[in-house]
Amino acid sequence: MKVQYQPNPQSLLSTFILFFIIHSIQVGIGIQGFQRVIFFEAKHDAWISVIAAGLFTHIVVMIIIKTLQLYGPTDIYGIHIEVYGKWIGKIVNSLYILYCLWIFVIVLINYIEVMQTWVFPTVPTWLFSFSILLLVIYGVTGGLRVIVGACFFSIFLSIWMLVLIGFPLRFTDIHHLFPVMESSITSILKGAQKMTLTIIGFEILYVVYPFLKEREKVTKFAHLGIAGTNLLYLLIMLITITYFSPGQMENTIWPTLSLFKIVKLPFIERTEYVAVSFWLLIILPNLMLYLWAAVRGVRRTFEKKTKGLIWFFPLVIFCGSLFFNTRSKINLFNDLFASIAFYITFCYPFILYILAMIKRKITSLKENKNEE
């Protein structure tokens, strides 16, 4: 397998679209209830944890970009082969493919749980899973440009939800934020770590990088996408802390959705029902991107035709999703994934960058020695 990959010119994307890719993939199912998990650790200083997580994310993205720039137009699958060698590289690539599919399952089962809890409690899991997976397959078969279009429209068509979340502002109490820094630094950092399941997704840059036209502008739009997501999470966290009491925060599973319950419009009786249903438009780009990344990983690693995998992977995921039919199973699965994803998403990029630098240095020394 060639380390570098140059897509067809008609497959290339304008670099500014990276803002929409990163922002849409980060804003998924986690935004519905991330406040409660962080509040358990950092209490009313949870908003500081959000800032800390956001700042560290910018650092990780910078390292990801530097790693990609070492090899030109390439992706993480090519870098693994170059750094680890053919066989170990294929094993690491396979693990990364499984990671993408794992995130896919996390997003899917959590959204189905929300739908069954809030809107359709009698609809079976298999029907939700089957319907959503058909939509995802339809999008992925259209290619990356179709998926990116879904990312673009999911952001613009969901802006109205942000406006509605502003309704609780008149009932907020800013004194809930004080005293600032009452929690210990350790608790705040633990809260930042709990943001993992909510803020991951930016690592998709590892896979879409070769498809961007002006790669010198990747840094700008990647950081803008991260900043937009961080500001959104910070705003929602501040509204939530000032609206709910500490007791309510600890007992409200989906605080963001609960904020919609107080919105009363003349033409909509239960706004939260509309929000939950509309959330499908937000998570679909997530699911499409992760499935596309997994299928592309197989194509790059094993150099095989992957049309059948677009159906095979969803079939396996469909069967697996049927086992997660209780809150306890989903929580256990989420916690296990979050603990592993933290190291893959926030720690591994530094390791990969160091290994890539060492590999480049060794290769450079060998080339100089041969020239002599």
Lowest mean pLDDT among 5-19, 215-229, 354-368: 354-368
What confidence tier does 372 reach under pLDDT thresholds 50, 70, 90? low
Taking residues 48-65, what's their average pLDDT? 97
The domain made up of 9-365 is a member of CATH 3.40.640.10: no
What pLDDT was estimated at residue 271?
Answer: 84
**Residue 21 parent element (H or E):** helix 17-26
Residue with tokens 């053919």: 86
Higher pLDDT, 162 or 21: 21
Could you tell me what percent of the chain has a pLDDT over 70? Answer: 99
Residue 336 pLDDT > 80, yes or no?
yes
pLDDT at 287 over 80: yes
Per-state percent for the chain, helix, strand, coil, to nearest 5: 80, 0, 20
Given pLDDT bands bounded at 50, 70 and 90, which one contains residue 370? low
Q: How confident is the model at residue 371 (pLDDT cuts 50, 70, 90)?
A: low
Is the pLDDT at 297 greater than 90? The verdict is yes
The yes-or-no verdict on residue 327 having pLDDT over 90 is no
Whether residue 258 is predicted with pLDDT greater than 70 in this model: the reply is yes
Average pLDDT over residues 152-166: 86
Q: How far is CA 152 from the centre of its chain?
A: 15
d(CA 372, CA 365): 11
- Please list, in sequence order, all residues whose beta carbon lies within 8 angstroms of the beta carbon of residue 157, skipping any fewer than 6 positions away: 281
Structure tokens at 85: 């060698």
For the stretch 90-103, pLDDT in tens is: 999 999 999 999 99
What are 19-37's pLDDT values in tens digits? Answer: 999 999 999 888 988 999 9
Strand residue runs (E) in the chain: none
